[in-house]
Amino acid sequence: MSYIEIFDDKISAENIHDIFVRVAGLSYTHGEQDNPDTPPTGVVAELGLDLSKQKVVKNMYDLYMSLCPASDSYNILQRAYVNLFAPGEQPYYHIDGDCMTMLYYVNPIWHPNQGGETKILQSSDRDVFAISPVPGRIAIFNGSLKHTATSFRNMHRFSVALKFIKK
- pLDDT (tens place) for every residue of the chain, 167 residues total: 478 999 999 999 999 999 999 999 999 999 888 889 999 999 999 999 988 888 999 999 999 999 998 888 999 999 999 999 999 999 999 999 999 999 999 999 999 999 999 999 987 778 899 999 999 999 999 999 999 999 999 999 999 999 999 98
Helix (H/G/I), strand (E/B), else coil: 119: strand
Residue 10 confidence (pLDDT): 95
CATH number, domain at 146?
A: 2.60.120.620
**Are the CB atoms for 143 and 96 separated by under 8 Å?**
yes
Total tally of structural domains belonging to the chain: 1
Size of the chain, expressed as the number of residues it contains = 167
**Are the CB atoms for 114 and 68 separated by under 8 Å?**
no
Q: Give Cα separations from 53 to 5, 8, 36, 125, 164 (angstroms).
A: 28, 26, 33, 40, 19
Residue 123 confidence (pLDDT): 75
**Are the CB atoms for 144 and 98 separated by under 8 Å?**
yes
Backbone angles phi, psi at 137, to 5 degrees: -70, 145
Edge-to-edge strand order for the sheet containing 118-121?
Answer: 128-131, 118-121, 147-149
Domain with 56 in it: 4-32+40-166
